[in-house]
Amino acid sequence: MKNDDAVFLDVRLPAFYTTILPCRTDHRDSIPDFTRQVTIIINEDDPEHTASFTVAECLLTETSKYFIEVCRDWYDSTSRTLRLLDVDVDAFNSYVCWANRKVLAIDWSFVDGEIPPQAASKMVTLWLLGDRLADAKLRNAAMDAIIDIRANYGDKEHKEPIQMFPPHMTVPIWSTLAKGRALRRLLIDHYVENVTAEVMKPHWNECHPDFIRSLAMEGLGCGAFEGEAENDQAACDKFKYHEHVHAFNTYMYWTCKDMLPFNGRVECDGYMDAGLAFPRLEFLSKLWLLGDRLADSRFRNTVMDEIIDVIEWLDPLSNDFTAAFPPELTTAIWAATTQGQAIRRLVIDHYAYMVSPKGMEPHWDSVHPGFLKYLTMS
């Protein structure tokens, strides 16, 4: 890949994590070991599309369950070479970049100074690689980029939405992914909302048969391609098409144990440590939204009790109370909820009582307009 042509998409990774199983205490695992390298040979049998990568094992195993399993079997091995077939070299190069920098990078040419719709197709390829490597965080990061590209393209005058996800892409997606997967749902929704039967007429033979059946059931061309560049719609889509691995694991734990799997408080001068409290509040907000999506009022109430408990233990002298509910989170909350719901009222009350106008100055452009309206009224 040429560095001049690489376009980097900054995808903010969630700062919330919950530990369901006890943390590892083995000293060997406490500090990443960058001396342990793995060589990965891509498409060794295809000279025109082969490449070799040498990557630190700790980066590969950070989020990929596939590499965790492979490297676990290699722990005392001297030959640390892995061969992968039928992998897109550019996509794997982007994966290595993401593993190192947590920034997605794909190679494309600009059209009239704008990102072309085909960039979404390259992110789809990266999503499929994340699925093969069992890396949910990479899939979610790629999905965020797809939605951002789609939202940006929806505002353009030259609207050709079929270019974003060409019909032939449905073949590998429907051949490798099970029914109900996020990428399948996104493509179906995209075609139903934006593509008419007349536009699809020359392309039916390029599509996977099951994709055609799904379109027929949903009703092709029911929506107009009005564009989805508004912040609330994009945030809602990101929540809709994300794989909420940590949140859903927490929900399943709660259904079994009737309690949330948090490991108590880390106190500092009698208060909850901000380094634990703020990420936990953000994650709890995501849990509440998941409970709302699942229509589980009892789970929502349990999560709300925990949110209030954490807020009560916050140090009143904390410097930045916006970190408890980051301004960007208000977009997801306002997009996924309706007026008067408890999580909206809680966030408004928190900002009204705990955050000064001066503290909000750097964040006015980051918050949802609906949130801003109610905040000024409060």
Residues 143 and 250 in one domain: no
Q: Is 289 exposed, middle or buried (0-12, 13-18, 19+ CB in 10 A)?
A: buried
Output the pLDDT for position 171.
92
Assigned domain for 112 exists = yes
Question: Which of 294, 297, 307, 292 has its CA nearest to residue 260?
Answer: 307
Residues 148 and 277 in one domain: no
Assigned domain for 174 exists = no
Structure tokens at 216: 């027929």
Residue ending a domain, choose from 91, 118, 152: 152
Output the pLDDT for position 203.
87
Output the pLDDT for position 170.
92
Assigned domain for 26 exists = yes
Provide the residue range defining the domain that includes 270.
244-377
Alpha carbon 18 to chain centroid distance? 16
Question: Which of 200, 199, 191 has its CA nearest to residue 219?
Answer: 191
Assigned domain for 17 exists = yes
| Phi, psi of 159, deg, nearest 5 | -90, 110
Residues 147 and 11 in one domain: yes
Assigned domain for 100 exists = yes
Radius of gyration over alpha carbons of the chain, in Å? 23
Output the pLDDT for position 241.
65
Assigned domain for 218 exists = no
Residues 146 and 1 in one domain: yes
Residue ending a domain, choose from 123, 152, 181: 152
Residues 265 and 366 in one domain: yes
Q: Quickly list H helices, 31-135.
A: 57-60, 65-73, 89-101, 118-132
Residues 257 and 366 in one domain: yes
Alpha carbon 308 to chain centroid distance? 26
Residues 121 and 10 in one domain: yes
| Phi, psi of 196, deg, nearest 5 | -90, 165
Q: The CATH number of the domain where 139 resides is what? A: 3.30.710.10
**Cα separation values, 370 from 170, 242, 347, 374, 375, Å:** 37, 23, 12, 7, 9
Residue ending a domain, choose from 152, 168, 199: 152
Task: Look at the chain and report how many structural domains it folds into.
Answer: 2
Assigned domain for 235 exists = no
Output the pLDDT for position 55.
92
Residues 249 and 360 in one domain: yes
Q: Are 348 and 371 in contact (CB under 8 A)?
A: yes
Assigned domain for 214 exists = no
Place of tokens 């140090």: 315
Residues 371 and 254 in one domain: yes
Annotate 139-205 with DSSP letters as a single string. Answer: HHHHHHHHHHHHHHHTTSSS--GGGTS-GGGHHHHHHHS-TT-HHHHHHHHHHHHH--HHHHGGGGG
Output the pLDDT for position 366.
67
Task: Using 70 as the pLDDT threshold, list the residues of the chain that sit under it.
Answer: 1-30, 74-78, 106-115, 117, 153-159, 218-245, 262-276, 315-324, 356-366, 374, 376-378
